[in-house]
Amino acid sequence: MIDVHKKQIKIWFENHSGYMKDWFKRHPGYNARSAKKWREKNPEYHFNVLKKYRKENPEKDFAHGKVNEEVRNGRLNKLPCNVCKEEKVVAHHPDYSKPLDIIWLCRSHHKEIHNNIKER
């Protein structure tokens, strides 16, 4: 796998830890230790998870892609967490049909907001 994929996937996993937690719940035989070995043997695997996610959540994927694109092009600035001012943030979409209508939140406050709205 080429490096850009690895980087993309890493970012994706950082932004979708909730989704992965769900996934682990649905695959009880899969734990972190065996996962590492397993990944080494199946380097394409996580890429396929990503593809599947995109298929299941096209509007979310579009919204996230749109934000990344705008940030990359300098049209959108990442801001510190709306709650605690932490600088490592993810874009939260209150409404996925408005891809650029976002709130910047650190990972823990992002998690909190999703727990509250019980999105999944």
Residues that bind Zn ion (CB under 5 A): 81, 83-84, 86, 92, 106, 109
Check: CB of residue 101 under 8 Å from CB of residue 94: yes
Cβ 114 to Zn ion, closest distance in Å?
6
Closer CB to Zn ion, 35 or 113, in the complex: 113
Check: CB of residue 111 under 8 Å from CB of residue 100: no
Cβ 55 to Zn ion, closest distance in Å?
19
Among residues 114, 93, 87, the alpha carbon closest in space to that of 106 is found at 87
Tokens of 33: 């230790």
Cβ 20 to Zn ion, closest distance in Å?
14
Closer CB to Zn ion, 35 or 83, in the complex: 83
Closer CB to Zn ion, 3 or 97, in the complex: 97
Cβ 74 to Zn ion, closest distance in Å?
23
Separation CA 65–CA 71 (nearest Å): 10
CA angle 111, 43, 89 (to 5 degrees): 25
Closer CB to Zn ion, 44 or 87, in the complex: 87
